């Protein structure tokens, strides 16, 4: 298809559907936000297909809600056996390596998602298991007291 040939409305719908399906399969999106996501994708595809139709404007309300989890989501993300990442929705025992892979540190992650300063970066059970192991091998105790 040449750049001057407009796309058919049917192919626009297929592209939007494919784009939304791919996004939703890899990200958690509440059902109430799907219409806004579909509209945003449709306007972006339409603007690309018909360049003279005006600039693409992102829905700022959608971005804010996706970046800032609710208090219930924050509470639910901290579980004894793992901590759910707000970046990809997966559960990790420790978030440090995951955040580093995404170019973040704990402070910037907390700031980006509006998390409290005491939000844990390590799952409670994992931390307890590591602490018990350290106590068992007398790690951190001077040698003369360990014997």
β-strand partners of 84: 91
Place of tokens 């170019």: 103
In the prediction, which pLDDT does 132 show? 93
pTM above 0.75, yes or no: no
Residue 116 has pLDDT above 50, yes or no: yes
120-147 residue pLDDT tens: 999 999 999 999 999 898 877 777 765 5
Percent of the chain topping pLDDT 90? 38
In the prediction, which pLDDT does 78 show? 94
Residue 107 has pLDDT above 90, yes or no: yes
3-state helix, strand, coil in the chain (%, to 5): 60, 5, 35
In the prediction, which pLDDT does 14 show? 87
Residue 63 has pLDDT above 90, yes or no: no
Alpha carbon of residue 127 to chain centroid = 23
| Averaged pLDDT, 100-109 | 92
| Averaged pLDDT, 33-50 | 83
| Averaged pLDDT, 86-102 | 92
Backbone torsions φ then ψ of 40, nearest 5 degrees: -65, -45
- CA-to-CA distance for 146 and 139, rounded, in angstroms? 9
Q: Tell me how many degrees the CA angle 125-130-132 measures, rounded to the nearest 5.
A: 95
Q: How many Cα atoms occupy the beta-carbon half-sphere of 14 within 13 Å?
A: 5
- CA-to-CA distance for 91 and 82, rounded, in angstroms? 6
- CA-to-CA distance for 11 and 34, rounded, in angstroms? 20
């Amino acid at each position: 298809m040449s750049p001057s040939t407009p796309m058919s409305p049917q192919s626009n719908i297929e592209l939007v559907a494919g784009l939304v399906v791919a996004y939703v399969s890899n990200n958690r999106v509440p059902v109430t936000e799907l219409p806004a996501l579909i509209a945003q994708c449709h306007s972006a595809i339409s603007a690309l297909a018909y360049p003279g139709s005006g600039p693409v404007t992102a829905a700022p309300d959608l971005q804010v809600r996706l970046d800032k989890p609710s208090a219930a989501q924050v509470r639910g993300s901290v579980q004894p056996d793992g901590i759910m990442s707000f970046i990809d929705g997966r559960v990790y025992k420790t978030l440090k390596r995951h955040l580093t892979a995404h170019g973040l540190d704990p402070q910037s992650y907390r700031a980006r998602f509006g998390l409290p300063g005491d939000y844990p970066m390590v799952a409670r059970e994992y931390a307890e298991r590591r602490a018990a192991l350290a106590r068992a091998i007398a790690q951190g105790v001077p040698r003369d007291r360990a014997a």
